[in-house]
């Protein structure tokens, strides 16, 4: 019998072909163990390589406006923030980087956003292949959004969706810069494209030193950017399914129903909370007229999902608003999209778990579907590990900087959720603090995907069951 360590798994991905995982076994001694044996390793290596390449490019003298290239820590922080589509910065993007440096950042944002949507969708496809035949057929009938073997369709779909939304947003912004602000066409087009790509990929990088505060009452700038953030944050599977069944909600999969209802439900709550708490704050919404306050409140409610643009100064916000924003940033957006956080599906599934336990129900139900125990455990694992990581990073950053808890917690959650919102402390952090945020951005962006894939692909069936124990809870 051949050594299982030298088994070569080949995923059948040819378009239109349905199949599972074929295992080809070579005789022992004729092949060595693959260096990368798990999809999570490939994902981490790919994004790590992109960060490294971006760091090298940003360190070139041609990327910086001043003399010489950017310091390694500055280039690393910016490249990580761009690839992980976060938006946190330690230097002023429009003044510190040349047009070449800004184009490098733009390319890293596009690569990071496209890669996240594609990788997350492909991981979902890979996991569906590891299921049993009956479960796979049920999942295929339920999701309707991704063919089991059509990799080409996924990649083409992600590229098409990205191009359509980015082009539409860029056209609206370019027109507004031309007509409303008398910008030359080349500058208007450049700013329109940059902010459209940054918005759809939930990156939050802006070509203005004050982010978008100068446009706080301009709906022709704020609304297209907010719309791009929302659609990018919903996730490719949801967008693809909405395109097919927009007027037939009864045919939506459970994932789409949960994502859409939770995403927009939280958005509505966020608009009410942010606008209400900041209505009379002279440092934020209080200085605007009522229509301007509503627009600014809506814009600030969208951004924690997880874009990073701001049209008011977050450093002037009430502590209650910052706490609400921290919660929204931690939850994030939809799966297989450009948003970060633990994802709205994880949040709502945990709500259903708690609700079922409180009511004494044996099974966890979401709408007309029963949620499997493995999915419940995965959601709980992602949430608790994320909480532990954020709390640990906050503790370390408090010791390193000595700053106030509210500012440090806000910054760590913003980095972990790949949001990019800031109370203004990031540029002043010591190098050790900035490196910690780099790690948080990288882990926060790739952690949920790699963790869920690792948990699912490590599933094992025991041939025995231990006696049940009942420790006291509470």
Positive or negative: CA dihedral 115, 118, 124, 128: negative
Q: How large is the average pLDDT for residues 188-213?
A: 94
Q: Could you tell me the CA-to-CA distances from 39 to 147, 385, 446, 453 in Å, in that order?
A: 19, 20, 12, 8
In degrees and rounded to multiples of 5, residue 377 shows phi and psi of -65, -40
Which of left, alpha, beta for 85 (phi over 0: left; psi -120 to 50: alpha)?
left
pLDDT at 456: 55
Structure tokens at 116: 């996240």
Q: How large is the average pLDDT for residues 91-97?
A: 94
Helix (DSSP H) and strand (DSSP E) numbers for the chain: 16, 4
Burial 23-62 (b: 16+ CB within 10 A, else e): eeeeeeeeeeeeeeeebbeebbeebeebbebbbbbbbbee
Q: Which residue has the higher pLDDT, 181 or 138?
A: 181
Q: Could you tell me the CA-to-CA distances from 394 to 387, 420, 427, 440, 451 in Å, in that order?
A: 10, 16, 17, 11, 22
Distance CA 231, CA 147 (A): 22
Question: SS3 of 86, please?
Answer: coil
CA angle 142, 145, 147 (to 5 degrees): 95
The average confidence (pLDDT) of the chain is 83
High-pLDDT (> 70) share of the chain, %: 80
Distance CA 411, CA 422 (A): 6
Q: Which has the minimum average pLDDT: 29-33, 49-53, 99-103, 195-199?
A: 29-33
Query: What pTM did the predictor assign?
Result: 0.83
Structure tokens at 350: 């945990």
By C-alpha distance, which of 83, 89, 122 is closest to 106? Answer: 83
Residues 6 or more apart whose CB falls under 8 angstroms from that of 258 comprise: 344, 345, 348, 349, 366, 367
Q: Which helix (H) or strand (E) holds 85?
A: none
Structure tokens at 300: 């600030």
pLDDT digit string, tens, across residues 126-152: 555 544 444 443 444 433 344 444 566
pLDDT digit string, tens, across residues 336-379: 778 889 999 999 999 999 999 998 888 898 888 888 888 888 88
Structure tokens at 53: 């390449």
Positive or negative: CA dihedral 286, 333, 363, 146: positive
By C-alpha distance, which of 63, 59, 50, 151 is closest to 110? Answer: 50
By C-alpha distance, which of 249, 247, 241 is closest to 161? Answer: 241
pLDDT at 455: 54
Structure tokens at 16: 């239109």
Q: Which helix (H) or strand (E) holds 301?
A: helix 290-302
CA angle 89, 117, 135 (to 5 degrees): 140
Structure tokens at 414: 């913003």
Q: How large is the average pLDDT for residues 282-305?
A: 94
CA dihedral 361, 365, 369, 371 (to 10 degrees): -100
For the chain, which residues make up each domain, given as ranges? Answer: 1-32, 35-457
Distance CA 302, CA 316 (A): 18
pLDDT digit string, tens, across residues 6-24: 333 333 333 333 344 444 4
pLDDT at 10: 34
Question: SS3 of 365, please?
Answer: strand
The structure tokens 């940059």 sit at 194
Residues 6 or more apart whose CB falls under 8 angstroms from that of 21 comprise: 9, 10, 11, 12, 129, 130
pLDDT digit string, tens, across residues 265-289: 999 999 999 999 999 999 999 999 9
pLDDT at 167: 96
Q: Count CB atoms within 10 A of the CB of residue 337.
A: 31
Residue 201 near residue 110 (C-beta atoms within 8 A): yes
Positive or negative: CA dihedral 61, 66, 70, 71: positive
In degrees and rounded to multiples of 5, residue 21 shows phi and psi of -105, 115
């Amino acid at each position: 019998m051949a050594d299982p360590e030298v088994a070569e798994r080949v995923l059948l991905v040819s378009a239109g072909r349905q199949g599972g995982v074929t295992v080809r076994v070579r005789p022992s001694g004729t092949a060595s163990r693959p260096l990368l044996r798990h999809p999570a390793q490939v994902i981490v290596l790919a994004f790590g390589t992109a960060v490294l390449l971006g760091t090298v490019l940003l360190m070139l003298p041609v990327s910086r406006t001043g003399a010489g290239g950017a310091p390694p820590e500055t280039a690393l922080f910016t490249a990580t923030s761009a690839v992980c589509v976060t938006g946190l910065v330690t230097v002023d993007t429009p003044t510190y980087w040349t047009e070449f440096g800004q184009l490098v950042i733009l390319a890293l944002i596009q690569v990071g956003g496209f890669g996240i949507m594609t990788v997350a969708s492909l991981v979902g496809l890979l996991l569906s292949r590891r299921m049993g035949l009956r479960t796979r057929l049920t999942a295929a009938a339920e999701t309707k959004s991704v063919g089991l073997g059509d990799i080409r369709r996924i990649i083409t779909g992600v590229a098409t969706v990205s191009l359509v939304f980015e082009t539409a947003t860029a056209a609206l912004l370019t027109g507004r810069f031309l007509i409303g602000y008398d910008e030359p066409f080349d500058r208007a087009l450049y700013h329109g494209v940059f902010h459209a790509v940054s918005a759809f990929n939930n990156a939050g990088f802006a070509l203005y030193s004050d982010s978008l505060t100068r446009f706080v009452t301009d709906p022709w700038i704020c609304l297209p950017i907010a719309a791009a953030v929302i659609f990018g944050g919903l996730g490719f599977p949801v967008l693809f399914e909405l395109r097919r069944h927009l007027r037939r909600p009864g045919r939506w999969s459970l994932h789409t129903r949960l994502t859409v209802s939770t995403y927009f439900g939280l958005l509505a709550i966020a608009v009410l909370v942010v606008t209400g708490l900041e209505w009379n704050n002279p440092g934020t919404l209080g200085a605007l007229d009522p229509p301007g306050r509503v627009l600014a409140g809506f814009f600030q409610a969208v951004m924690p999902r997880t874009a990073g643009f701001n049209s008011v100064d977050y450093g002037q916000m009430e502590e209650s608003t910052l706490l609400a924003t921290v919660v929204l940033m931690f939850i994030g957006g939809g799966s297989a999209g450009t948003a970060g956080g633990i994802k709205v599906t994880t949040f709502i599934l945990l709500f259903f778990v708690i609700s079922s336990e409180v009511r004494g129900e044996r099974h966890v139900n979401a709408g007309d579907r029963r949620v499997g125990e493995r999915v419940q455990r995965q959601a709980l694992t992602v949430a608790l590990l994320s909480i532990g990581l954020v709390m640990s990073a906050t503790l370390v950053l408090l010791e390193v900087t000595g700053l106030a808890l509210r500012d440090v917690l806000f910054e760590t959650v913003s980095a972990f959720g790949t949001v990019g919102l800031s109370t203004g402390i990031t540029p002043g952090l010591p190098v050790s603090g900035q490196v910690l945020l780099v790690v948080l951005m990288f882990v926060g962006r790739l952690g949920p995907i790699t963790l869920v894939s690792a948990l699912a692909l490590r599933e094992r069936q025991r041939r025995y069951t231990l006696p049940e124990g009942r420790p006291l809870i509470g």
